[in-house]
Structure 1
Amino acid sequence: MTGKQLGQSCPKFSQRRHGTWGVRQELPPGADGTRRTFRRSGYSSATEAQNDLDQVRALLAIPETDDTDGRQRLGDLLEHIASTREPLPTVDEVRRKFRSGHSLTSRITVGEWLDTWIAGRKIRRTTVRRYAQDIRVHLKPRIGHVRLDRLRVADLTEMFNGIAERNMEIEESNALRRAAIAELKNIRGRDARRIAHAAIKEMPPFRRTTGPTARKHIRSTLRAALNDAIAQEIITFSPAAHVELDSARRPKALVWTKERVARFTATGERPSPVMVWTPAQTGQFLDGIADDPLYALFHLVALRGLRRAEACGLRWVDVDFSGRTLTIAKQLVENDGEVEESDPKSDAGDRPVALDAETVALLRRHRAKQRKAQMAAGEAWVDCGGRVFTRESGEWIVPNWLTDHFERLVVRSGLPPVRLHDLRHGAATLALAAGTDIKIVQEMLGHSSSSLTSDTYTSVLPELAQEAAEAAARMIPRQASARTAGLTSGSQGHQGSTRTVGKPDLNATKLQFKAAS
């Protein structure tokens, strides 16, 4: 041995670990007192080896010298890393876990954390159910295997790209099934129709895509879970706060004009997810269901904009006939086929709703009919907590059943289709078109902000929009000599005379002007 390096002439140079640097550090004894050592080799330079050795020593310095349990935990961590060849964690990461009491050796996945997180949530049952659905359907299948501390924005971008691709597959599948059903109408012959039916049965069923609003909710669910992980010092970064999604704009409500009804009749396509009847169509519907036991419910939703759950949960104790108001204090919600009573969905939802004289009279007649039915039923009557609207036996109304019942009534009416929730849209639209201040409409609907009301419900009925356009045109003073044939904005007036121009609403002050002399 000369002490000189042989370089490439060394006979052991071809061996992978020969000629590299290594580190060795004594670790705190194990739980049984056995001696432990951190060893790692294969470094290409002394600097690289020294950097890792310094990091090992910095990790060992995290617990106090008299913290025997803490020193043993650090020893367990470094022993695990040495055996698995994992990269050394940062000092800040280990210090955070050490201080919070979390395991230093376990590597929790996103799926494991989501299960732990959802199990400990103390919130509304409906909210937990929605969180759980996002976790079960989207988050765990797509990113559940990723280590929680290694989740990155790129992982979430890939997840949402996958959801978008899945949407395209669903749309294509739905289109094929829809086309097959349409073709079935033209097939003649029992055997041919049986074969076509069998082919349709083998196709995937109609499925819903995961739209922009649903994707936004998935991100919100993950963000809430990751924020709690940050609060517990498990991680320091939430990629859900930085992933970009397509904007999820609320669909604007459109009115069923004659042109839109004709288009729907010809194509079967709804112009918007949210469709609103005209006042005449709403009146036709209410007139047509006047004999229905739940007529008063639909009247109330159509005029005052109650939510389905609020209408089902309304109690007589919450109706003030003398004050002509009702209070939204309870609602009925359906979870996994079970109906339960709960408080309104938000503080803004717990609200008084003003009633017109006709609605008050209608509710009085409805109460009289209910009392008569209760007396006739006797002991068979089911007491469901004094609900305003019940089934014939007194049982409370299941929200999903109410939706189905409403859809049957709409089909019977022959009117273009709207959802039960669209009656709420219609009530808001009518109130706004009648000149009601948007703040009052917001309170009537139980929205938390007027911006939500204006973004969603500011549809203007066509006939009223036309009147507004004419009123705006009349507001512009014009010289008679400057007008051309066919332009009739405003009324004719003499030079030097004073005239009154159109007013935008019944409460507006008359505007006057004097033509220039």
Structure 2
Amino acid sequence: MATREGSTFKRCGCRDETTGKALGVTCPQLKRKGGGWNPSHGAWAFQYELPRTTDGKRRQARRVGLATHTEAVEGLDQVKALLALASGDEDIEVQIADLIQTAPANRRPLPDLEEVRKRIGTGADVRAEVPTVAAWLTEWLDGKPDLAPGTRASYAGHINKYLVPHLGRRRLDKLQARHVEAMFTVIEEANTHILECRESDDAKVQASVRGQRAISLSTKHRIRATLRSALSDAVRRPDLPMTVNIASHVRLPSCPRVKPMVWTPDRVRQWQADGTVPGEVMVWTPEQTRTFLVHARKYRWLYAMFHLIAAKGLRRGEAVGLPWSNTRLMDGQIDIRVQVVQLAWETVTSTPKSAAGQRTITLDSDTIKALRAWRRFQLEAKLQAGKNWEDTGLVFTRDDGSGWHPAQVSDWFLRISRAAGLPPITLHGLRHGAASLALAAGTDVKVVSTELGHATTHFTQDTYQTVFPDVAKAAAEATASLLRGGPVPVRTPMS
């Protein structure tokens, strides 16, 4: 019979030949003739009387089927050590007893001593199940109803494509930095496979990775940032045994900011010769931008939008979602307060995700002229369409008044730039070009940063200040002139 001190014993499954009753601990084969235990018969067990349940019922911690007496003693000692963690607190003692009692029923080992100590230290209910990484990430994302749609889609993509497939089955508090680093190793191996298949001479091998893309270093950093954000919330939860955010200790190569590169004549010639695009982000020279806008005049439903982006650096979603109510041509100003975000093919209208993104930009006379001409054309089209006109209130619309889909605008941009014979840039590259042009023209970096919606002037200056070679050349000549003792060359705005 168990006492408060507990006991160990040996038993077997033999039955009395006459009555059929289990012999248990009374089986004569459990011991040798000399009185010692028979190692080839029966199994060891231990039992310990646990604190009563919350409704006053008696219960025991009991585990059978152990191979040695040592295992039984160690198990009994662990039960005692676990209960000792309560330090006399009856509520915690009952919680620990509940945890001990459910372990055999669920075919689990006894709770880990250090883990229970840690959970008591954080004020967590030791009986609660620690979620898996997958369960926690789902709970974490569901618990953020105010996320911007684009941010939510980004988090969900990282979770569903990478974090859950690689880490989801691990218990949250057992996740280690090496597990996350192993995930990135697997991703990089997949990248290598994709690139090797693309370079293969075998068409079937090439086809095997069609539609797959290599994961960039910047994307890996964003995946880690999503995990870090989720684990930060887990560490703050008192009911989870988390004290360290392991994502902060995951090693990744540094990810330098990608700076735009301009399509200089030499780079254009190389591209024409073999299709080489020298940088991840390319921008046009002022002359190339003018060529594009001249060609874009043929497309009356798009020209004013492209002119505005090229001159003032609006983001695609900001231009597509711009309402006339926020456009004050008499004042020469536009209030950026809304944007259209593309999620897969669906679109959502929302506010810019940062405070800096909500801003007022000042228009130049050429842009005001282009927008007024467009406004007249749009009103004429509205009168002709009559009841078929969709009154969206947007500045830039299709021929029935409906808004543009962001992807359609990008597609038209690429078509027009190809038709103009220009080297390739993305529509966002037109925004990069506007920033570079403004700085090259001598506009104060703070003004440029504010109108672009950047959070800091450092980002603006570091990214765009030296894009155009002519600007760098002028600075070099100014320095050389000082060394020669001559006059400093006067810097004039770029045309």
Alignment match, 2:271? 264
Task: Report the secondary structure of 2:385's partner residue.
Answer: helix
Alignment TM-score, normalising by the size of structure 2: 0.84
Following superposition of structure 1 onto structure 2, how do residues 478-517 of structure 1 map, counting pairs within 5 Å?
Answer: 478=485, 490=486, 501-503=487-489, 505=491
Which of 463, 466, 475 matches 2:482? 475
1:79 aligns with 2:104: no
In structure 1, what is the Cα distance between the partners aligned to 2:266 and 2:42?
Answer: 81
1:217 aligns with 2:204: no
Residues 236 and 151 (structure 1 numbering): CA distance in 2 closer, same or farther, change over 3 Å?
same
Alignment match, 1:357? 365
Which of 122, 143, 159 matches 2:167? 143
Output the amino acid matched with 2:338: K
1:157 aligns with 2:157: no
Task: Report the secondary structure of 1:475's partner residue.
Answer: helix
Alignment TM-score, normalising by the size of structure 1: 0.80
Tell me whether 52-61 or 34-43 shows the greater mean CA deviation. 34-43
1:52 aligns with 2:78: yes
Q: What is the deviation of 1:475? A: 1.3
Q: Percent identity?
A: 37
Residues 55 and 297 (structure 1 numbering): CA distance in 2 closer, same or farther, change over 3 Å?
same
In structure 2, what is the Cα distance between the partners aligned to 1:49 and 1:356?
Answer: 81
Alignment match, 2:404? 397
Cα distance per residue 1:321-364 (max 9 Å; x no partner): 23211111111112242222111121100001111111111111
In structure 1, what is the Cα distance between the partners aligned to 2:77 and 2:483?
Answer: 80
In structure 1, what is the Cα distance between the partners aligned to 2:190 and 2:155?
Answer: 20
Task: Report the secondary structure of 2:314's partner residue.
Answer: coil
1:92 aligns with 2:117: yes
Q: What is the deviation of 1:423? A: 0.3
1:338 aligns with 2:346: yes
Q: What is the deviation of 1:60? A: 4.6
Q: What is the deviation of 1:38? A: 2.4
1:426 aligns with 2:448: no
Does structure 2 conserve the Cα–Cα contact (< 8 Å) formed by 1:252 and 1:459? Answer: no
Cα distance per residue 1:69-121 (max 9 Å; x no partner): x6543322011335522452434333257x445x7252421111111111221
Does structure 1 conserve the Cα–Cα contact (< 8 Å) formed by 2:100 and 2:110? Answer: no
In structure 1, what is the Cα distance between the partners aligned to 2:405 and 2:69?
Answer: 69
Tell me whether 268-277 or 135-144 shows the greater mean CA deviation. 268-277
Alignment match, 1:232? 237
Output the amino acid matched with 2:133: V
Does structure 1 conserve the Cα–Cα contact (< 8 Å) formed by 2:263 and 2:284? Answer: yes
Gaps of 5+ in 1: 1-8, 181-195, 479-489, 491-500, 508-517
In structure 1, what is the Cα distance between the partners aligned to 2:475 and 2:365?
Answer: 29
Does structure 2 conserve the Cα–Cα contact (< 8 Å) formed by 1:318 and 1:328? Answer: yes
Which of 139, 143, 158 matches 1:134? 158
Does structure 2 conserve the Cα–Cα contact (< 8 Å) formed by 1:314 and 1:330? Answer: yes
Gaps of 5+ in 2: 1-33
Alignment match, 1:27? 50
Does structure 2 conserve the Cα–Cα contact (< 8 Å) formed by 1:256 and 1:275? Answer: yes
Tell me whether 32-41 or 328-337 shows the greater mean CA deviation. 32-41
Q: What is the deviation of 1:44? A: 4.9
Q: What is the deviation of 1:378? A: 0.4
In structure 2, what is the Cα distance between the partners aligned to 1:51 and 1:201?
Answer: 62
Cα distance per residue 1:130-172 (max 9 Å; x no partner): 1010000000000101111100111111111111111111111
RMSD: 2.9
Following superposition of structure 1 onto structure 2, how do residues 238-387 of structure 1 map, counting pairs within 5 Å?
Answer: 238-292=245-299, 293-384=301-392, 386-387=393-394
In structure 2, what is the Cα distance between the partners aligned to 1:14 and 1:25?
Answer: 24
Q: What is the deviation of 1:503? A: 4.2
In structure 1, what is the Cα distance between the partners aligned to 2:143 and 2:72?
Answer: 49
In structure 2, what is the Cα distance between the partners aligned to 1:348 and 1:136?
Answer: 30
Task: Report the secondary structure of 2:483's partner residue.
Answer: coil
Cα distance per residue 1:462-510 (max 9 Å; x no partner): 23322222222111145xxxxxxxxxxx4xxxxxxxxxx1145369xxx
Output the amino acid matched with 2:352: P
Does structure 2 conserve the Cα–Cα contact (< 8 Å) formed by 1:325 and 1:352? Answer: yes
In structure 2, what is the Cα distance between the partners aligned to 1:57 and 1:151?
Answer: 27
Tell me whether 462-471 or 258-267 shows the greater mean CA deviation. 462-471
Output the amino acid matched with 1:328: I
In structure 1, what is the Cα distance between the partners aligned to 2:471 and 2:347?
Answer: 41
Residues 43 and 109 (structure 1 numbering): CA distance in 2 closer, same or farther, change over 3 Å?
farther
Q: What is the deviation of 1:390? A: 0.5
In structure 1, what is the Cα distance between the partners aligned to 2:77 and 2:274?
Answer: 71
In structure 1, what is the Cα distance between the partners aligned to 2:266 and 2:417?
Answer: 19
Cα distance per residue 1:250-300 (max 9 Å; x no partner): 211111111111211222221001111111111111111112121111111
Tell me whether 412-421 or 328-337 shows the greater mean CA deviation. 328-337
Task: Report the secondary structure of 1:476's partner residue.
Answer: helix
Output the amino acid matched with 2:141: I
Does structure 1 conserve the Cα–Cα contact (< 8 Å) formed by 2:199 and 2:206? Answer: no
Tell me whether 143-152 or 117-126 shows the greater mean CA deviation. 117-126
Alignment match, 2:15? none
Corresponding residue pairs, total = 451
Output the amino acid matched with 1:225: A
Q: What is the deviation of 1:437? A: 1.9
Q: What is the deviation of 1:221? A: 0.7
Task: Report the secondary structure of 1:229's partner residue.
Answer: helix
Alignment match, 2:210? 205
Alignment match, 1:449? 456
Tell me whether 466-475 or 159-168 shows the greater mean CA deviation. 466-475
In structure 2, what is the Cα distance between the partners aligned to 1:43 and 1:269?
Answer: 74
Residues 410 and 43 (structure 1 numbering): CA distance in 2 closer, same or farther, change over 3 Å?
farther
Output the amino acid matched with 1:278: T
In structure 1, what is the Cα distance between the partners aligned to 2:135 and 2:113?
Answer: 21
Task: Report the secondary structure of 1:352's partner residue.
Answer: strand
Alignment match, 2:132? 109
Does structure 2 conserve the Cα–Cα contact (< 8 Å) formed by 1:80 and 1:105? Answer: no
